[in-house]
Amino acid sequence: MVTPMSNRKHMVMSLIEKAARFFFTRFLTHFISTGCVTILEGGNMVTFEGKDSRCHLKSELEIHSPQFYWKVMTQVDLGLADAFINGDFSFVNKETGLLNLIMILIASKELNSNLAEKRGRWTPIFLTTGLSSAKHFLKHLYRQNNLTQARRNISRHYDLSNELFTIFLDDTMSYSSGVFKSDDEDLKIAQMRKIYLLIEKTAYLSCSIENVENIGIHYYQTLRLWRKNFFERQKQITDLGFDDRFVRTCEYYFDYCAAGFKTRTVGDYQVTHTHTYSSINKCFLM
């Protein structure tokens, strides 16, 4: 069900951006089959609500730049990440808006089984999506590993300094999931339980497929606590020289991964950012 735009005020757009918005709206009309997504654009509002009631999540997006539509329709999920990181849109609910949106998209994709079998991902509308995919493929080829390139890749992925990671990790500095017994358990306790379990399971050679499959929900909880710690200490992050774009990159990383683990959905891509005081590109692996 689609609720049409109300209180019409027009954002100034080029013809291409208007076309992108038209196809974006048409796409969501057919794609959102569960949950509820609302798009706010100036005084305009349009709501996309799925007929299937198994997902009750809601997400409200506020559009700040018409580039949002172009990026999403030409680069699909990477375009959504790029638009969020660059501030082209934001969420009314800062705490759960992004997480809910990703989980709604995952749930709708699973329900649209015929579409999923044909496409395997969000449906690209424009031919330029293929060009964007080719661009990312060529970048990947450029990063193919030899000894020198491997060192460079590792540096770009993880060389963000301990000062940053101590802000949202616990005292063990474990950059992996803890194992929780309750929703409100302390992160360090969960990480120590994980360490002891690894020692125990490895000692008895009992690291089974079942144990690996059940780690998803723990990783979801770990990521939510990392996110909470990150934003509670955001001033420390800005004091280290990281800007708003970096903060949004981390936010997207936390919520994108949390949604994937929560729904047991597998996928990966890279989002890069540049440190304010460094010319070296850093990136998180999602």
The string of pLDDT tens digits covering residues 68-80 is 999 998 888 888 9
pTM: 0.67
φ, ψ of residue 86 to 5 degrees: the values are -90, 5
DSSP conformation class of 162:
H
Does residue 1 contact residue 30 with C-beta atoms inside 8 Å?
Answer: no
pLDDT digits (tens, 9 = 90+) for 158-184: 555 677 788 888 888 887 788 888 888
Q: Residue 156 has which token pair?
A: 């770009």
Q: Residue 283 has which token pair?
A: 């990136």
Where do the domains of the chain lie?
9-117, 153-273
Instruction: Calculate the alpha carbon distances from 273 to 134, 139, 268, 280 in Å.
Output: 20, 15, 17, 9
Low-confidence ranges of the chain (pLDDT < 50): 7-8, 120-131, 134, 137-138, 141, 206, 208-210, 212, 273-286
Give the domain 153-273 fold.
Answer: Rossmann fold (3.40.50)
CA–centroid distance for 35 within its chain: 18
pLDDT at residue number 191: 87
Closest CA to 61 of 103, 110, 94: 94
